[in-house]
Structures are given as structure tokens and as C-alpha cells.
Structure 1
Amino acid sequence: MRQKRDGKKEEIAKLKENLSAIKAKLSQAGAGNPMAIHEQIERLEWFQQTESLSAKEEKEFSKKIKDLRKQLPEAKEFQGLLMELAETRKALGKLIDEEKALHEKVVEHSRKADHLHKDLLQDSRKIGDVQKSISTAMTLLKEKETDAGEKHGQLVKAVGERKLHEMEQRQRHQAEETRHLQAQQNKIVEKAKKIYGRFKSGEKISTDELLVLSESGLL
């Protein structure tokens, strides 16, 4: 977007240079309307042909017609410059409008980018909170495993080997389920991060993916 806007600015600068050059030529060119000069020549020639003129008057008319014919090339050049000036001004006005529209789009995109950046910071904090919860759960699990090891001897004396074996099996089963649930939660969080990134970029997501975001706590 900025590259397009910079391109328009370069075109505007070139057209402004062209305008200055045309104005300089206009200041040096002779003014006059070619059509008006042609009409004036035709009137003088018609009058010269239809009226009885003295030799002096005939000479004066011929001189006026000759002078007017000399003005024609300069007048045509002047008219051409005027047309070029009008077309250049029109093109310049169009480019200025386009550059203004691009500038407004750049500003709008910048505002959206700032807003998205703030959202991403908030999302990062949410993900950080989820990761802290996971870390806390893992710490508690390790502490429980340590306590279980320390109390192993006491349990052997209290309930006997057979019952202790049964209890240990139940504990191992519970620990395995906890690890399994933890692993699933980790997968959900990782998956949710990717889905959320797509969601924030404006991409459509499925109902199942919305459910994943909900389960992860990001929505």
C-alpha cells in the first residue's frame, strides 16, 4: 500500500514539473485564438474583394492580413499549450485524489495493525496463564509422587504387601490418567494457538475449531 502511495507521489511530482514547464512556455508564447484570427482574416479578405478601395487602403488591408497570418502559428502553439495545461491539471487532480485515498487506507491499516498488536498481547497473556496452570499442576503431581515414595514403607507395615500392591496399581493408573489428560491439554493449547492465529487474521474457522478455542480458554 505504501509503495503504491509513493508511486503516486512520484507521478504527482513529475506532473507538477510538467505544469511548470508548460506555464513557462505560455509566458513566452503569443496569445490569441486561431479560430478568431481565421475569422478576422476572412472578413478582411471579403471586405477587400467586395469593396472599392484606394491603393493606400488596399495596401493597409494586405498588411493587416499578412500580419494576422504571421500570428497563426504562434496562436496555434498557444492554444495547444492551453489544452496541454488543462489536461495536465486534470491528470494531476486525479492523481492527488488517488494519493489521498491511498493515504487514508495506509492510516486505516496502521490503526488496524495497532489494534491487532494489542489483541495479540492479550492473547499471549492468556496463553501464558494457561501454561502457568499446566506448570503448577505438574509441580503438584511431582510433589505427590515424592510423598508417595516417602510413605511407601509406612504403607507396607500398615496394610501389607498385597493390599499395598493393589493401592500402587490404582495410584499408577490415576497417575497415568493424569499424564494423559495433561498431554491432551497441552495438545489442545498448541492447537488453539494455531487456530487463534488464523482466526485473528480474518480466516474462517470451523465449529470444531471454535470448540477447541473454547476448551483452551482463549475465547
Structure 2
Amino acid sequence: MLKELNEKKTELKRLSEEYKTQRNELNAEASKLAAKRNELNKKTKDLINEAQNYKNLRDENNVMVKEHKDLRDEINNRANEIYAQIDTIRGDNNLAGPSIKDIRKDIDRLEFAQQTEVLSTSKERELVNKITELRKIYNAKKQQLEGNQELKELLTKAQDIRDEASKEHTLLSEYAQKAQEYHDLMIATFKEADKIRAESDGAHKEFVKYQESADEKHKKFIAAQKEIRDIDKEVRKLKKGETDGRREISKADMRKDAEDIFDKFKAGEKLTTENLMALQRSGLL
């Protein structure tokens, strides 16, 4: 029985060490994955902060776009009022042809498209030619109208106002371009953050898998250690039983020897000192 228990204990010790080694290896790998996950989470957070900063800059520039657009439109409305006066005088004086206000609007619309839209080479060439043609018509109409002093003064005033509006439009375009650039940076940075977050999620899943495996090995290690302790208790009980058994046998032998000596004493035989001591140990004296 003791041999079987000792053999089982030896096997459990071997398994216990194996579980311990495996647990430690798995925990080490889990720690690496946790560190990787934490690093990726930090990168994700930094990228989100960076993207948020781009968003704020985009919004700030969009505010400026709106401010300059409102100012440009306000100035253009002033110019349109003057062009309306010009059209009235033009009608009163039978000055035929397209309205100089409408020509100016067409030029502004086409110039805005040229500055803000992405065009092919052929389309841009076509647009430039059209703007050039309208400018010629505008200048011809302007010369026609400048023959009238009142019209000339109104045209000069309208042109000054248009120049002021053009400056606001230029600023509007600059802020719009910056807003678009920051918007593109924001989108790209958010996409990068999503990519890094996906890597972090993958690392976390791997971490959980290794951590669960390590926990399972640890449970097996603990179970093996408990079984070893249980075997040690059983071995101690068995050894104690054997020792107690040997003691009982020894006492019985001693009693029998003492009774033999006592019988000799009663028969009149002379006892030695050793015989007397044996009788004392047995309790017969």
C-alpha cells in the first residue's frame, strides 16, 4: 500500500511541475499580449485625440468660411442694388443687350467653379474660355454704359464694391480649403485609429485565451498539490499504524519472556540481575 501511494505521489509531483511550468509559460505569453494590447490602446487614444484636434481646426475654419461668406453676400447685395439702378437707367435709355449685373453674376459663378471644383484639363480650358468671353462682353457693355455719366459713376461704385466682395471670396476660399484639408486629415486619422483598435481587440482576445489556459493549468497544479498532501496524510497514518503494531508485538514478547522468568523463579531457580530487570519492565515485580 505504501509503495503504491509513493509511486502515485511521485507521478503527481511530476505532473505538478509540468502544470506549473505550463502555467508560467502561458502567464508570460499573456503578459506580453497584455503589454501589446495596452500599447495599442494608447496609440488608439492618441490618434483619436489627434483626429479630434483636426476636427476642431476644421470647425474653426468652417466658422470663418461662414463669416466671410455672409460678409461677401452682404457686399454683393449692395453691389446688386447698384446694378439694379444701372439696369433701370439702361432701360430708360434703351441700351439693349444683356444686363451687366447678370454678366457679372455669370463671371463670378464660373470663377468660383474654377477655384473650387476638380476639373479635367479640357473642362478647365473650356471654363477659362467662357470666362474670358464673358469678360469681353462685360467690358464692352461697361464701355457702352460709361457714355452715360450717371451710369459711369454707378459702374465705378459697383466695381469697387465687387472688388471688396472678391477679397472676401478669396478669404472664404482659403478657409474652405483649410477646412477641407483638416477634414481629410481627421477622416484618415480616425480610420487609422479604427485599424489600431482592431489590432488591440485581437491582442485582447489572444490575451484572454492564454489567461484562461494559464488559469486551467493553475487549477490542475493546485489539485495535484492537494492530492499530494492527502497522500502524505495517508502515508503518515499507515506508518503510525505499523509503528504502533510493532510496539504491541514487542510488549507481548516482553511479557511472555517475563512470565517464563517468573516461572523459573517460582520453581526455585536463581535469577540474574538481567532477569530481575526484565521482570521489573514487564510489571510482574
Determine the C-alpha separation between the residues in 2 that align with 1:75 and 1:12: 28
Counterpart of 2:217, as a letter, is D
Match of 1:85 in 2: 179
Counterpart of 2:47, as a letter, is K
Match of 2:103 in 1: none
Partner SS for 1:69? helix
Determine the C-alpha separation between the residues in 1 that align with 2:137 and 2:153: 12
Match of 2:147 in 1: 54
Matched, 1:2 2:41: yes
Matched, 1:121 2:121: no
Partner SS for 1:151? helix
Match of 2:226 in 1: 132
Contact 1:19 1:85 in 2 (8 A): yes
Segments of 5+ residues of structure 1 without an aligned counterpart are 158-219
What RMSD over aligned residues (CA atoms) do the two structures have, in Å? 3.8
Matched, 1:12 2:51: yes
Using structure 1 for the length normalisation, give the TM-score: 0.54
Determine the C-alpha separation between the residues in 2 that align with 1:74 and 1:34: 15
Deviation at 1:151, TM superposition (A): 3.3
Matched, 1:36 2:114: no
Contact 1:45 1:65 in 2 (8 A): no
Contact 2:47 2:192 in 1 (8 A): yes
Determine the C-alpha separation between the residues in 1 that align with 2:174 and 2:194: 30
Determine the C-alpha separation between the residues in 1 that align with 2:182 and 2:165: 25
Determine the C-alpha separation between the residues in 1 that align with 2:190 and 2:68: 29
Cα 1:77–1:111 shift into 2, 3 Å: same
Q: What is the correspondence of 1:1-219 to structure 2 with a 5 Å cutoff?
A: 1-30=40-69, 36=111, 43=136, 47=140, 54=147, 56=149, 59=153, 62-153=156-247, 154=249
Contact 1:8 1:95 in 2 (8 A): yes
Contact 1:34 1:72 in 2 (8 A): no
Determine the C-alpha separation between the residues in 2 that align with 1:22 and 1:145: 89
Determine the C-alpha separation between the residues in 2 that align with 1:21 and 1:84: 10
Partner SS for 1:28? helix
Deviation at 1:133, TM superposition (A): 2.7
Counterpart of 2:216, as a letter, is Q
Determine the C-alpha separation between the residues in 2 that align with 1:104 and 1:49: 64
Deviation at 1:51, TM superposition (A): 8.4
- Larger gyration radius, structure 1 or structure 2: 2
Comparing 107-116 and 51-60, the one that deviates more: 51-60
Segments of 5+ residues of structure 2 without an aligned counterpart are 1-39, 74-107, 113-127, 254-285
Partner SS for 1:29? helix
Determine the C-alpha separation between the residues in 2 that align with 1:53 and 1:63: 12
Using structure 2 for the length normalisation, give the TM-score: 0.44
Determine the C-alpha separation between the residues in 2 that align with 1:50 and 1:18: 46
| Higher-RCO chain (CA-CA 8 Å, sequence separation at least 6) | 2
Determine the C-alpha separation between the residues in 2 that align with 1:58 and 1:144: 127
Deviation at 1:134, TM superposition (A): 1.7
Counterpart of 1:13, as a letter, is Q
Contact 1:34 1:76 in 2 (8 A): no
Percent pairwise identity: 7
**Corresponding pairs, count:** 157
Cα 1:84–1:52 shift into 2, 3 Å: closer
